Amino acid sequence: MTYKEKIKQIAGLIKQSKKTLALTGAGISTESGIPDYRSPGTGLWEKLNPMKTASLSALRKDPAQFYSVNLERWAIYSNAKPNYAHYALAHLEKAGLLVGVITQNVDSLHKRAGSERVWEVHGHLRTFHCMSCHQKYPFQDVVQRFRSGENPPRCLKCSGVLRPDVVLFEDRMNEDFFQATQVISGCQLLLVVGSSLTVYPVASLPGAAKQVVIINRTPTPWDETAAVVVNETAGKVFRDIMFELGEQLPEIVEKAENN
């Protein structure tokens, strides 16, 4: 099947489906300047051992080292802008063609693009909280304090160590994940975008969908059972899907960015 035929088929599946969801991973945000984790040769976890740098035990063992390794990298996320794929999914939701987005990403780009129903199954970086008294702090406040020399940043109420509201390695899954396992029940079409589908338990979610479309630059373990697989960048694919659906994505993006 040619690329053009795949685009036509995906657009047709979206129009026919009565319950469509998207499942997104780090690959949807690479076009926004955020590196992914597992691409051969460039993935972040090929350079850093996540168990030693981004786990709950790493935070507890050496909070200052945890912040030194992770915080400036995370600060890049706050400056990133949504790309075509984020805006396309937000528009599909507004058009009634998409129930919502289940995302493994912590960058908040779906929300910035206008998606309203987003299940952030690995948490987000908008806030931190104290590990002792659970007082919340905005992300930018923590970054400013760290840059002023406070490492690790501590709770202003009880001096407890702060942690991001993300699901670290060794953490239990959050409430959004358990909601996602419920909302995906009865899903007729799941659009997997930019996910390697190798991180469990999220990688098990496609099994709940009747049909799966995979848009990812590299192969995934689910390719053989998917209805359509497109190994291309998400922005390009969604620009072409939206055109096939009669929508001009550049115009949609321009309008959204000006609002």
- The predicted-structure confidence for 28-83, as pLDDT tens digits, reads as follows 999 999 987 554 554 444 455 656 788 999 999 999 999 999 998 899 888 899 99
Separation CA 254–CA 118 (nearest Å) = 22
| 129 is an active site residue | no
The pLDDT assigned to 248 comes to: 85
Q: What is the pTM of this model?
A: 0.92
Q: Which segments within 26-85 are labelled E, that is strand?
A: none
Report the Cα–Cα distance between both ends of the chain, in Å, rounded.
Answer: 39
Residue 96 — left, alpha, or beta (φ > 0 → left; ψ -120 to 50 → alpha)?
left
The radius of gyration computed from the CA coordinates of the chain, to the nearest angstrom, equals 19
CA distance 93 to 88: 9
Domain map of the chain by residue range? 1-34+82-122+173-259, 36-79+123-166
Determine the Cα–Cα distance for residues 156 and 63; give it in Å rounded to an integer.
Answer: 16
Q: Order across the sheet with 162-166: list the strands.
A: 136-138, 123-130, 162-166
Above 80 in pLDDT, residue 240? yes
Inform me whether the pLDDT recorded for 15 exceeds 80: yes
In this predicted structure, which of 13-27, 94-108, 205-219, 238-252 has the lowest mean pLDDT?
Answer: 238-252
Q: What's at 55, amino acid-wise?
A: S
- Four-way CATH pick for 1-34+82-122+173-259: 2.70.98.10, 1.10.268.10, 3.40.50.1220, 3.40.980.10: 3.40.50.1220
CA atoms of 80 and 35, how far apart (whole Å): 11
Given the residues 122, 124, 129, 134, select the one marked as catalytic.
Answer: 122
Q: How confident is the model at residue 251 (pLDDT cuts 50, 70, 90)?
A: confident
3-state secondary structure of 138: strand
> For the domain with range 36-79+123-166, which CATH number is right: 3.30.1600.10, 1.10.10.10, 3.90.76.10, 1.10.287.1040?
3.30.1600.10
Percent of the chain with pLDDT over 90: 83
Q: What is the mean pLDDT of the chain?
A: 92
Does 22 score more than 90 pLDDT?
yes
Q: What is the pLDDT of residues 80-131, one digit of tens each?
A: 999 999 999 999 999 999 999 999 999 999 999 999 999 999 999 999 999 9
